[in-house]
Amino acid sequence: MRLRDRIFKLLPGRILQRKTGNDGTRKEATVKLLVCGGFGNGKTTLAERLIAGGADDAPKSDDTHRETVEVTYKPFRLKTRDYLIVDAPGHDRFTQTLTTGAAGSDIAVLLVDVNSGVTVQTKRHALIASLLGIPHVILAVNKMDTVDYSKRAFNDVVKSFERFADTFDFSSINAVPISALAGENVVERSTNMAWYEGPLLVDYLEAAELEHDPATRPLRIAVANEKGGASRVFSGTVASGVARPGDSIVVSVPARTAKVASIKLGEGDGSEARPGQSVTIELDEEVETDDGDLIAAVDNRPEVSDQFAAHVIWTSGNDLFPGRTYDLAIGNRKVGATVTEIKHKIDIETFEHLAAKTLEVNDIGFCNIAVSKPVAFDPFESNRETGSFVLVDHETGAPVAMGLIWFGLRRATNIHWQALDVNKSARSSLKGQKSAVLWFTGLSGSGKSTVANMVEKKLHAEGRHTYTLDGDNVRHGLNKDLGFTDADRVENIRRVAEVSRLFADAGEIVLVSFISPFRSERRLARDLMEDGEFIEVFVDTPIEVCKQRDPKGLYKKAEDGLIKNFTGIDSPYEAPESAEIVLDTTKGSPEVMADILIAELRQRGVIA
């Protein structure tokens, strides 16, 4: 299997419109050129040299000590083409920045310092370029002037690159020895490297064939309709294809068809809408849409699914754990998402598939992903514009990963929710109560289980239907296969949250007593329940008091290093920021705490 068949592509800024002349004819597209390399390899110097050409304002000093930390975009022109040069940071801590900037590039220049040769960063950049679908790669071996223009030094670097280059699915790979500072073999042939008779760097740029024209892809328009609802008029951005009046279209998720009645571009009507253009389309009949739906060609529809397999580039310093929830942004749509399984990750040195339970920063993995509601998409290789997404941390709003969709999971379309006549409302009514989930969270020894047990005793005495899910008890059966690593804790809570939902659906009052240290997993549990059904109870007991209460001496063992991943010692606890109820068990007995909770249930109408 080729490497391109094993990985990924990104999101913003991919569409570069073809220019339109005064006569209405479309001219050659702007070429997006990525320049990447390790710190001190000469990226910015090369970029400045290309922009200046042979002019007097070419760079006078190298950029060895200037670190690029942000992507910069600069236009320039050679003899036959316009270019947009993307100068991307090379350090591995800026992988997210590099990947975002590189998206949609037509050519990648991989800059290598001849003195250090091919490095792990070179491999990473080549891998990312391949995953992003960049068709042409130029290996620019820089600083040849520092090795006395040695042909052997150049050949050694090329041979090192060739040892793994065949793994990649590039349309072309070429190598050229250069001195970016002097412009040698960049825009002018070097008199110091007479042994090199190949094309100059700019010649390779001019000769590369452009392969990606989104106008040739099936029609896809991402709808911007924040309020949702039925309408005949929609605004959006053309992601691919061309729309014209009279075309038959379909709105992806509701799968409603209509015809394009008119197209508006700016102030006036248009005869067609092309990739990258913001457009207002009037249909011949009303169609229901939500923000982020895709308008598509009726004879070439996108996939619609709530589960798919995707390659993911993880860029966050916080590890990815299967079962944890994130926000997924795809086009204009934002939905909840969970990585349900990591199938494998890729070894950056050997490009082999490795088993993995988590993804760390800069890891690239192949994952199954489930989203909270169906989304429309195309496999990445079919349509770069509608096959990529970004994962976002729900708490901070920061992007944590970028990915490309490989295929929809068949089970997502084969399995449908079975409607039942006896529902939650009927079950709750029969029991004379409303469903509720009291989620007790706090440190070990805080009193969660003690208070939960007292609440259930009092409710049971009133004839209420209850069930308690306790952290220790569940680990004897349902979760006996899980340990106490962060990844296992995430899965532990995911399973318990699903079980809690089943009990709530049965009309029960569920008492869940788990440390549940991470906000994201408690949010997952909350999101599974109906509005007002989830009641977070923060048992806010100081850790010093928890240690004093500890009958098994677990805190002492953890502090002595005998127990690993113990919450509050060497594993974090993220306290709730807006719990419905906060209990301080140092200020009252378990019975007093239980009475507070039962009073809250009465106030909420859970019990009369």
User: Is beta strand 229-240 parallel, antiparallel or unpaired with respect to 268-269?
Assistant: unpaired
In the chain, CATH 3.40.50.300 sits at 3-207, 424-603
Mean pLDDT value of segment 466-490: 91
Architecture of domain 219-297 in CATH? Beta Barrel (2.40)
| Maximum mean pLDDT: which of 145-159, 488-502, 548-562 | 145-159
How sure is the predictor about 414, in pLDDT bands with cuts at 50, 70 and 90? low
pLDDT for position 194: 95
Measured in whole angstroms, the distance separating CA 211 from the mean position of its chain's CA atoms is 26
DSSP 423-464: -HHHHHHHHTS--EEEEEE--TTSSHHHHHHHHHHHHHHTT-
pLDDT digit string, tens, across residues 514-542:
999 989 889 889 989 999 999 999 999 99
**Any idea what the Cα angle at residue 533 is, between residues 531 and 536, rounded to 5°?**
105
Q: Looking at the predicted structure, is the pLDDT value of residue 5 above 50?
A: no
Architecture category of domain 304-411 in CATH: Beta Barrel (2.40)
Assigned architecture for domain 424-603: 3-Layer(aba) Sandwich (3.40)
Between residues 382 and 13, the one the model is more confident about: 382
Whether residue 176 is predicted with pLDDT greater than 80 in this model: the reply is yes
For position 383, what pLDDT does the model report?
86
What integer pLDDT is reported at residue 22 of this predicted model?
30
| DSSP code for 575 | -
- Given a contact cutoff of 8 angstroms between Cβ atoms, the answer to whether 459 and 555 are in contact is no
- pLDDT tens column, 324-372: 999 999 988 899 999 999 999 999 888 889 999 999 998 999 999 999 8
170-195 mean pLDDT: 94
Q: Tell me which residue has tokens 């962060």.
A: 486
* pLDDT given at position 23: 33
CATH number assigned to the domain covering 3-207: 3.40.50.300
Single pTM value for the model:
0.75
Structure token pair of residue 548: 């004093």
Res 535: pLDDT = 96
Q: pLDDT band for 607, please (50, 70, 90 cuts).
A: very high
Q: For the residues 580-603, what does the mean pLDDT come to?
A: 94
Q: How many residues are listed for the chain in this entry? A: 608
Which element (helix H / strand E) includes 547? helix 543-549
Q: How far apart are CA 157 and CA 470, in angstroms?
A: 60
- Give the 3-state secondary structure of residue 294: strand
Average pLDDT over the chain, rounded to an integer: 86
Q: Render pLDDT for 55-110 as a digit per residue (tens, 0 to 9).
A: 545 555 555 444 545 677 889 999 988 999 988 765 565 577 777 777 778 999 99
Residues 152 and 123: beta-carbon distance below 8 Å: no
- Output 19 or 70, whichever has higher pLDDT: 70
Residues 6+ apart with CB under 8 A from 100: 10, 11, 12, 13, 71, 402
| Catalytic residue IDs | 516
DSSP state of 320: B
Whole-number pLDDT of residue 92: 60
* Averaged pLDDT for residues 586-594: 93
Q: How confident is the model at residue 412 (pLDDT cuts 50, 70, 90)?
A: low
What is the rounded distance in angstroms from the CA atom of residue 449 to the CA atom of residue 301?
52
**In the chain, which residues fall in CATH 2.40.30.10?**
219-297, 304-411
Q: Where are the alpha helices (DSSP H) in 95-250?
A: 95-102, 120-131, 151-165, 201-207
Integer Rg of the chain from CA: 29
